[in-house]
Amino acid sequence: MTEPGPVSRVALITGASTGLGETLASHLHGLGWSLVLTARTAADLTAVADRLSGRGGTVIAVAGDVGDAAHRERLIAAADSLGRLDWLVNNASRIGVSPIRPLLDHPAEVFDEVLRTNVAAPLALAQPALPALRKSGGLVVNLSSVAAVEVFPCAGIYAASKAALDQATRVLAVEIADSGAGAVSVDPGDMRTRGYEQAEPGFDLSGVPGPEVTLPFWEWLTERSADEVNGRRYQAQSGPWEPGPR
């Protein structure tokens, strides 16, 4: 009888249709991970999933809004169908009004949308993901920003959302310490992405690196145990990454 082969590691990545999410998905796929990917625009997401699965491996694309509870249930069910979960990467993010404008020039409903996407949804996904993450020794990876710690005009509600997510990540890390799973914040640094281009259309991004600049960090993180990194906040473009502040 043939022994079953090792089950590949599994990542659920939100906002995987472009930018950093797409780059990380492609990188983990190249390392043999199985993937559950999501973003709202089905055509963009399917294009990424088809490109990756054309090279082999398992890629499940589930289009939808991470702010929608029924969609989050579908994402967790997709991860369950793969038998394990190693990373929940909360990467999907809203900047607010794009192009960016001053805090109080935002329609009030945009405040709710940004906080729902950038803070509430990551936590609401972490909740049902944690049993599987505990089993695998896995990680909740929450994407942060320098805007969480420094003050930039016009980044107001986005900055507040990332600061809130950082603090929630620290609290979660303490609450799940020694459970097997861990939680980290990652500030990826400036990257030339669709989101950045749309937020600041007149800004010359030619000197800003693409999201590939963060790959050495992700490679490093794949080799760490949850216990080693739990509660830390990393800057992906500023290695060496250990030890980091808890």
Ligand X SMILES: NC(=O)c1ccc[n+]([C@@H]2O[C@H](COP(=O)([O-])OP(=O)(O)OC[C@H]3O[C@@H](n4cnc5c(N)ncnc54)[C@H](OP(=O)(O)O)[C@@H]3O)[C@@H](O)[C@H]2O)c1
Q: Which is nearer to ligand X, 133 or 191 (CB)?
A: 191
Burial annotation 137-148 (CB, 10 A radius, 16+ → b, else e): ebbbbbbbbebb
Q: Site map for ligand X, 51-90, x if CB under 6 A?
A: --------------xxx-----------------------
User: Residue 183 forms beta bridges with which residues?
Assistant: 140
Nearest to 224, CA basis, from 242, 240, 236: 242
195 binds ligand X (CB under 6 A): yes
C-alpha distances in Å from residue 143, one per residue of 39, 101, 104: 15, 22, 25
Contact 103, 161 (CB under 8 A): no
44 binds ligand X (CB under 6 A): yes
Q: Site map for ligand X, 134-173, x if CB under 6 A?
A: ---------x-x----------------------------
How far is Cα 195 from Cα 27, in angstroms, rounded to an integer? Answer: 20
191 binds ligand X (CB under 6 A): yes
Q: Which is nearer to ligand X, 31 or 149 (CB)?
A: 149
Count of residues near ligand X by CB under 6 A: 30
**CB 226 to ligand X: min, Å:** 21
Q: Which is nearer to ligand X, 22 or 86 (CB)?
A: 22
**Stretch in the footprint of ligand X (CB under 6 A) among 12-20, 75-83, 149-157, 236-244:** 12-20
Among 21, 122, 156, 182, binds ligand X (CB under 6 A): 21
Active-site residue 158, yes or no?
yes
Q: Which is nearer to ligand X, 118 or 136 (CB)?
A: 118
**Stretch in the footprint of ligand X (CB under 6 A) among 10-18, 26-34, 223-231, 233-241:** 10-18
Beta strands of the chain (E only): which ranges? 10-14, 34-38, 59-61, 87-90, 139-143, 182-187, 233-235
214 binds ligand X (CB under 6 A): no
User: Residue 13 forms beta bridges with which residues?
Assistant: 37, 89
**CB 85 to ligand X: min, Å:** 18
- For residues 162, 125, 139, 169, the Cα torsion angle rounded to the nearest 10 degrees is 30
Name the token pair of 23.
């780059």
Q: Which of 21, 35, 115, 158 is catalytic?
A: 158
Cβ-based neighbour number of residue 207 at 10 Å: 7
Among 193, 214, 218, 234, binds ligand X (CB under 6 A): 193
How far is Cα 20 from Cα 133, in angstroms, rounded to an integer? Answer: 22
Kindly list the catalytic residues.
158
